[in-house]
Amino acid sequence: MDDERQTAEDSGFDRGWSGHAARQARRGLAMTPAERLRWLEETMAEMRRLQGRAIGAPRREEAD
């Protein structure tokens, strides 16, 4: 088990929720406050574009 965990860490591949959460936390801490804000704004803009797409809703420009 420890050998598998070590191999996963060496390869840069996250395993499970805890590995992913730790990587995301390290990434966030490495960013400056301005970079974190830009990331948040970009992520929110992308989520707004994707909102409703999972159920096959037409894009707003297609619906007009």
Query: DSSP class of residue 54?
Result: G
pLDDT per 10-residue tile (average), the chain, 64 residues: 52 78 89 93 89 67 59
Query: DSSP class of residue 59?
Result: P
Query: How far apart (Å, rounded) are the C-alpha atoms in residues 5 and 16?
Result: 11
Give me the pLDDT at residue 15, please. Answer: 79
Report yes or no: 15 and 5 within 8 Å, Cβ to Cβ. yes
Give me the pLDDT at residue 1, please. Answer: 47
